[in-house]
Amino acid sequence: MNITKENIDALNAVVKVEISAADYQEKVATILLDYRKKADIPGFRKGQVPMGMVKKQYGKSIMIDEVNKLLQESLNKFLTEEKLDILGNPLPRMQDDFDWDKEDYSFEFELGLAPEFDVKLDAKKKITQYNIIADKELLGKEVENIQKRYGKIIAKDTVEEGVNITGTFVNEEKEIEKKSTIELASIKGKANQKKFVGKKVGDVVELKTKGLFDDDHKLMGAIGVDHDAIHGLDITVTFTIEEVNVTELAEVNQELFDKVFGPDVVKSEEELVAKIKEDA
């Protein structure tokens, strides 16, 4: 793996993360082996399913999940070690030629850098400093996000609540053909969600882009339309379902603590919550 930073100007920079097959293949192989032991497929005894069949059914989704985890971990570690004072979150750059069928990947993120300036204040004037404390709801959500990030991907036959769906958005008139993975829960409106529930791999869902997500930027990433064209976009797209899976939350235990913060930095769920609170 290789991570580099290029400063564009005083307020902007680009971080490039290059991930090779050697960075994730061992982990993927371990997970596939575990899947093989547990797979229950008609015609085969449990634990005797051919590895080729397991790879064909689960290999790609597991690989994508592991690459994304590795990408997030390495990017966060880089930003922390470099002590970069950034505004907001890193923004991924769109890549029209990106291909998950390759073995080596390159990702780019745009960073907004906090400007450096001095403020001279009159010592006679009082200033109120607010101490912001993360509440229980925020802390609980962040613990769940960590469990999801390090959880297992399980393939499903049918779309149901809580799943992630991979498929391709198409609109010929606007020349849209974009493969994306979306959370069913991120789809806005019960009517739109009902269009997915019960569908299987290969089924096609017809959707209106207007109001499909809470945020136009989510729509922009999902269908691959640029920023200028996305606002107010009201067209019909089809979505062909290619994969359905759900994330089994990782157990809150020492193994998870070590993965997130390093060996023995956190040793209990109480310390985990305290660490999240400190960071927040």
Q: What is the pLDDT of residues 20-73, one digit of tens each?
A: 999 989 998 998 888 888 777 777 777 777 888 888 888 888 999 999 999 999
Q: What is the pLDDT of residues 159-169, one digit of tens each?
A: 999 899 999 99
Q: What is the pLDDT of residue 19?
A: 93
Nearest to 106 by CA among 116, 97, 119: 97
Q: CB within 8 A of 117, min separation 6: which ones?
A: none
Bridge partners of 140, per DSSP, are: none
> CA-to-CA distance for 269 and 234, rounded, in angstroms?
46
> CA-to-CA distance for 172 and 249, rounded, in angstroms?
38
> CA-to-CA distance for 152 and 213, rounded, in angstroms?
26
pLDDT band at 84 (very low <50, low <70, confident <90, very high): confident
Mean pLDDT of 137-141: 91
Flag whether pLDDT at 223 surpasses 90.
yes
Sign of CA dihedral 221, 222, 226, 230: negative
> CA-to-CA distance for 86 and 102, rounded, in angstroms?
31
Which single residue is written with the structure tokens 């009082």? 126
Mean pLDDT of 190-203: 94
Structural domains of the chain, ranges and CATH numbers in brackets: 2-112 (3.30.70.1050), 136-151+250-279 (no CATH), 153-248 (3.10.50)
